[in-house]
Structure 1
Amino acid sequence: MIKGIAAGITVILIAGCSGSSEVAEKPPVGTSEATTPAPAEGNAQAPATLTMEQKLADFDYMWRILEENYAFLEVNKRLNGEDWLANKEVYRSRIASAKTDDLFLRGMRFVLSELHNGHTRILSEEVYAKMMQVYGQGGPEYEPWLRVLQQPGVLARYNWQPIAPRPVATESGSSSSTAAGTDHAGGGPSGNVTKVVVEPGHTAYLGFKSFGGEFMERDAPVIRDFLTEVKDYQTLILDIRGNGGGNSNYWGAIVVPMLISAPVDNVTYDLYRGGEYAADFMKARGLVDLSPIEELQNEALPNLPPEASTQFQSYSKWENNIVPFHPVGFKGKIFLLVDSHVYSAAEGFAVFAKNTNFATLVGVRTGGDGIGIDPLLLALPHSGYVASFSFSMGLVSDGSCNEEMKTLPDVEVDPDASRPLPDQPAVRKVLELAGK
């Protein structure tokens, strides 16, 4: 996932909020389409029916890893009244009573759903396939994720072939095969961006259904052309209502740099539990030499959650700096429409906009969990199912937990987007505010 941009760490996959699907991102430039995996065609056998011992062993394995690494156990208590750890035997009994593999899968999904976190779930076949494509075309910083996805039992469960070795780069630095992602460059508009002149010469609207990396290459020129067209307008409405995430580089490397005239700094933090399972993932992303949690008290963070100093061992401070890149010269007022479905990378944009005053937020409280890197993956040893989970607690600049507090709008209004654009309460509110 990239949830939030973090000082040189690129996150490429985001899980959507509960009820929405995860979004696969554009692989790094210079990787090859030849590495794209494909479903197995009869050469992988689905696992045999699981025994009760195997089901319980899978449950115990997942439980141990989450108990030591999952970031939001106390947040879940406060928000949902759910003491997940205290319910272990109840959950384990549910798995023990699963007579079939299908009931086992349903039971495991229920157990994870009790954490009430959109990044924490058993991967569906569709999401697994997207992750294989993305991580299979990434660099060494994604190897721990790929290793999980390519365990023999996992490949058999999801009926996929292992990916081929990456092609050797030529002397020019590019692959000898066609670079991945070039198929996204053509084919016309993606349909991901909505452009509307609400009031000619005064108010423009730009809506984003997703921040999926697969849209970035096609959407960038569309966004630039429209922003250039309306650069002298007084009001720009950016709409991320219903946007469950994607790649934070969508907004951090495309949208914002076009609209700013000077560098903008945004400070966030990530806290880590210190579980052994997370170590390889963190090392691959350069998360080493972290600050001990005791030093967090030296930061001015008045709203730290109480468990920060007792359940976490280390932290990172991200001083993210976004600089202008061929700015269009827009000097008007920017409004950002948000709702409770704004999550993950889209949530990261809301955090950025609120923290830096890049835009005035209009709508309702967002969905949260927008700071950090990709959720970790774990493979259940007997069934081969893969689970993802959030392992870092993202904090905004005042120390509040983004997953818990979400992002409050500057102006609260009904976010309903079902009506024609000029009749939507949020748009009408922006027009009212812009007219003052």
Structure 2
Amino acid sequence: MKKKIVFSIVISVFIILLGNSTYSQKNQLSEEEKVDDFNYVYNVIKTGYPYLDVNKRLNNIDWLENKDEYTKRIKSTKNDEEFIEELSSILSDLNNKHTELIDNKKRYELFKKSYSNNDWYDFLNDKKVVDRYDSINPKIKMPNDILVKKELILKDIVEGKIGYMYLPSMSSKNGPIDNDLKVIGDYINTLEKHKALIIDIRGNSGGSDSCWQGIVSKLIKNDVKINGYRIYRNNNKIVKKYTNARSIKLEPINNLPQNVKENAPKEIIKDFSSFENTSYTIKSTKDLKFKGNIYLLVDKKIYSSSESFAMFCKETKFATLVGETTGGDGGCIDPVLFNLKSSGLIVRMASCMYLNKNGICDEEFKTIPEFKVKDCKRTADFKDDSCIRKALELENINY
């Protein structure tokens, strides 16, 4: 009887898989449809993507010049699965983590939920889009650092002397970010007599600026104002629709301050149309008791909003950076999404370029720490951690 039940289950699973396979085989994209979708992506990147020349300078990749090669690769795909993998690989040549093909249902569902409360995109519930992501088989990827626990950590490294705060993400895994900020604030209140606080954001790939700004507000005596610029290729229809939907106040690119234009990438006047002044102020909670030094531990995985935090720390001297050069693309707003007509796939693209108050492009130059450490890997044991040891050395503490 048991064998019959097991056999029935196996047959049922096989039928389901066969059904999915049959569905996908019947609805395979034609070569023309695949090329049409690629050409659409190519033209959006050509007219709207902000980092084409940065990619040339940093990685020696002229993405636009590779069109013929990319087209051949698209044509050589034998089915939809290969097409998705190839298009994803082609976009990865842009070397920007904010620019990618949404190639799985989990990511699609995440964005659909994230943008459900606004009207920025009118295609997230289109039948073709829904059917496409329902048809993609999930792929399980195991992270390399799975054995290192990624939870908020608040504890002293040296009891009563050196505080430690580990932020695995600029978001919370346990409900609203305010919950984490409350716990962090309670810990900061215990640091009154401490010599230093080490904030560890290694491996933190971003989240929300409100997270790090909320922490900073608890660690500054006076309000801090930051000034920078987001620049856009707003002549592109998709970018323009996005900036309009978000009611972003734009000025002509030529109105940028002269010193910013002189230090910015040379292509901004020729290829960009508009900019947004991004001045903002982080307000102090006015009850700071901690008076010690602050160290920020960084590595090459720092990106997006965690990069914004690293930039802030370096520019304002809020903290001394220890580690290695960061990943970049801080200071920007959310990437823009657009859909492909034939396949129903969605592409995510960096929406703008961020320049600091002096005109330096963060994506190109990243954030360089004051103290570089060769082995930046975060370890479970503080004593084996090179970045922590460096911070303690700067505080003249043997550990």
TM-score by length of 2: 0.85
Worse overlay, 362-371 or 318-327: 318-327
Go from structure 1 to structure 2 and tell me whether the alpha carbon gap of 1:227 and 1:339 turns closer, same or farther (over 3 Å shift).
Answer: same
Looking at structure 1, the residues matched to 248 and 98 of structure 2 have their Cα atoms a distance apart, in angstroms, of: 20
Please state if 1:237 is matched with 2:198. Answer: yes
**108, 118, 129: which one pairs with 1:128?**
108
Looking at structure 2, the residues matched to 370 and 210 of structure 1 have their Cα atoms a distance apart, in angstroms, of: 14
**292, 298, 323: which one pairs with 1:363?**
323
Q: Is the 8 A contact 1:245 1:346 kept in 2?
A: yes
**141, 150, 159: which one pairs with 2:134?**
159
Q: How does 1:26-425 map to 2 (within 5 A)?
A: 48-123=27-102, 124-136=104-116, 138=117, 140=118, 143-145=119-121, 147-159=122-134, 192-212=151-171, 214-215=173-174, 216-252=177-213, 254-274=214-234, 275-288=236-249, 290-300=250-260, 302-325=262-285, 327-414=287-374, 415-418=376-379, 420-425=381-386
Go from structure 1 to structure 2 and tell me whether the alpha carbon gap of 1:213 and 1:301 turns closer, same or farther (over 3 Å shift).
Answer: farther
Deviations 1:290-341 (A, max 9, x none): 1211122434565211111111111112111100136442221111000000
- Following superposition, the deviation at residue 71 of structure 1 comes to 0.5
Structure 2, unmatched stretches of 5+, are 1-19, 136-148
Structure 1, unmatched stretches of 5+, are 1-41, 161-189
Q: How many residues align?
A: 357
Worse overlay, 72-81 or 222-231: 222-231
- Following superposition, the deviation at residue 93 of structure 1 comes to 1.1
Looking at structure 2, the residues matched to 359 and 281 of structure 1 have their Cα atoms a distance apart, in angstroms, of: 35
2:91 corresponds to which letter in structure 1? L
- Following superposition, the deviation at residue 191 of structure 1 comes to 6.3
Looking at structure 2, the residues matched to 319 and 65 of structure 1 have their Cα atoms a distance apart, in angstroms, of: 29
Q: Percent identity?
A: 35
Q: SS where residue 371 of structure 1 aligns?
A: coil
1:222 corresponds to which letter in structure 2? V
Q: Is the 8 A contact 1:202 1:233 kept in 2?
A: yes
Cα RMSD, aligned residues only: 2.0
Go from structure 1 to structure 2 and tell me whether the alpha carbon gap of 1:302 and 1:87 turns closer, same or farther (over 3 Å shift).
Answer: same
Q: SS where residue 58 of structure 1 aligns?
A: helix
- Following superposition, the deviation at residue 155 of structure 1 comes to 1.4
- Following superposition, the deviation at residue 227 of structure 1 comes to 0.9
Deviations 1:222-267 (A, max 9, x none): 2112111123312000000000111111111x21111112100111
The aligned counterpart of 2:9 is none
Go from structure 1 to structure 2 and tell me whether the alpha carbon gap of 1:191 and 1:369 turns closer, same or farther (over 3 Å shift).
Answer: closer
Looking at structure 2, the residues matched to 317 and 86 of structure 1 have their Cα atoms a distance apart, in angstroms, of: 33
Higher relative contact order (CA 8 A, sep 6+): 1
1:207 corresponds to which letter in structure 2? Y
Looking at structure 2, the residues matched to 101 and 385 of structure 1 have their Cα atoms a distance apart, in angstroms, of: 11
Go from structure 1 to structure 2 and tell me whether the alpha carbon gap of 1:380 and 1:66 turns closer, same or farther (over 3 Å shift).
Answer: same
2:81 corresponds to which letter in structure 1? D
1:149 corresponds to which letter in structure 2? L
Q: SS where residue 89 of structure 2 aligns?
A: helix
2:133 corresponds to which letter in structure 1? Y
Q: Is the 8 A contact 1:301 1:397 kept in 2?
A: no
Worse overlay, 274-283 or 208-217: 208-217
Q: SS where residue 123 of structure 2 aligns?
A: helix
2:342 corresponds to which letter in structure 1? H
Q: Is the 8 A contact 1:375 1:388 kept in 2?
A: yes
- Following superposition, the deviation at residue 135 of structure 1 comes to 1.4
Largest Rg, 1 or 2? 2
